[in-house]
């Protein structure tokens, strides 16, 4: 239609169960659009998306979506906040409640379950938001720049805690980020996007020596800077080509 902008073009990829994939690219390349499509928030104009062989046509319980903001309800305690999704889905019972509180303990927040959101730091609130998302046991977790509003030290600590939790829970995850170092440190594969319209420029496999450590330690592994420079060069060349 006249006046519409093509957000994505010929984007095709698959993700293995338990894999952590990062989508990296400049603003306007369609990263968040991809997550919205996977979440079933709106359908693609062409093509299709599927999870475990079933086409996504609407929001699914198999998908958990964590946004940049925590969106915790200020009038509910932390425990009440992490149960919210279970309440909405009518899945709240003794077993699901136990699981959610166990996740809260893994995030080192069990001592704060009776606190309110305004009593917690930004990093703590994001951990609560992650627990709320994981409490419903989604098959795949979508992370839309969840650390972007945090200070650098908190980001590094949270990267380790989140990735360690997802690995132990064997969760499949897709992270959208602008941060090259974050993508290399956390992901098994990186999908590098180009813009105008959004499309896949390259898919980079992160080698095992970089994947095995937690994000903070991986930054000291040999070849980390090699991958950083290569991705930086690729993204910079694209930006120069597009003015």
Residues 140-185 pLDDT 10s: 999 999 888 888 999 999 999 999 999 988 999 999 998 999 999 9
Q: Which of 86, 116, 137 is the last residue of a domain?
A: 137
pLDDT at 26: 83
What's the chain's length in residues?
243
- Asked, for residue 112, whether it belongs to a domain, the answer is yes
Examine the domain organization and report whether 53 and 148 are in the same domain: yes
Examine the domain organization and report whether 151 and 42 are in the same domain: yes
Examine the domain organization and report whether 53 and 87 are in the same domain: no
Examine the domain organization and report whether 48 and 144 are in the same domain: yes
Higher pLDDT, 59 or 80: 80
Read out DSSP for 66-126? E-SS----TTS-HHHHHTHHHHHTT--SHHHHHHHHHHHHHTT-GGGTTS-GGGS-HHHHH
Tokens found for residue 48: 């299709």
CATH no. for residue 52?
3.40.50.300
Residues 68, 231: Cα–Cα separation, whole Å: 24
- Asked, for residue 119, whether it belongs to a domain, the answer is yes
| In the predicted structure, residue 19 carries a pLDDT above the cut 90 | yes
- The total number of structural domains in the chain stands at 2
Question: With bands split at pLDDT 50, 70 and 90, how would you rate the model's confidence at 2?
Answer: very low
> What distances in angstroms separate CA 139 from CA 16, 65, 92, one per listed residue?
11, 11, 18
pLDDT at 4: 61
pLDDT over 70 percentage in the chain: 95
| In the predicted structure, residue 82 carries a pLDDT above the cut 90 | yes
Examine the domain organization and report whether 198 and 238 are in the same domain: yes
| In the predicted structure, residue 53 carries a pLDDT above the cut 90 | no
pLDDT at 1: 42
- Express each pLDDT in 191-229 by its tens digit: 999 887 888 999 999 999 999 999 999 999 989 999 999
State the residue range of the domain holding 153.
Answer: 1-62+139-243
Examine the domain organization and report whether 50 and 82 are in the same domain: no
Examine the domain organization and report whether 92 and 1 are in the same domain: no
Q: Which of 137, 164, 187 is the last residue of a domain?
A: 137
- Asked, for residue 67, whether it belongs to a domain, the answer is no
| In the predicted structure, residue 46 carries a pLDDT above the cut 90 | no
| Contact indicator for 109, 156 with CB cutoff of 8 Å | no
pLDDT, averaged across the chain:
90
């Amino acid at each position: 239609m006249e006046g519409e902008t093509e957000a994505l073009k010929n984007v095709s990829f698959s993700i293995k169960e338990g894999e952590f994939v990062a989508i990296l690219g400049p603003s306007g390349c369609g990263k968040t659009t991809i997550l919205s499509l996977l979440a079933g928030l709106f359908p693609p104009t062409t093509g299709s998306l599927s999870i475990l062989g079933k086409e996504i046509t609407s929001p699914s319980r198999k998908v958990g979506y964590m946004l940049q903001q925590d969106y915790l309800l200020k009038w509910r305690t932390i425990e009440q906040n992490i149960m919210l999704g279970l309440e909405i889905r009518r899945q709240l019972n003794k077993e699901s409640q136990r699981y959610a509180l166990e996740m809260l303990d893994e995030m080192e927040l069990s001592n704060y379950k009776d606190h309110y959101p305004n009593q917690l730091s930004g990093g703590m609130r994001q951990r609560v938001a992650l627990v709320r998302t994981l409490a419903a046991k989604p098959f795949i977790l979508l992370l839309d720049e969840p650390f972007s509003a945090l200070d650098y030290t908190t980001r590094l600590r949270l990267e380790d805690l989140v990735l360690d939790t997802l690995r132990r829970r064997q969760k499949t995850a897709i992270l959208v980020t602008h941060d090259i170092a974050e993508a290399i440190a956390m992901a098994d594969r990186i999908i590098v996007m180009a813009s105008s319209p959004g499309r896949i420029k390259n898919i980079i496999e992160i080698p095992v020596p970089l994947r095995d450590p937690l994000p903070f330690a991986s930054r000291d592994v040999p070849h980390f800077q090699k991958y950083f420079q290569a991705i930086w060069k690729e993204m910079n060349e694209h930006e120069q080509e597009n003015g």
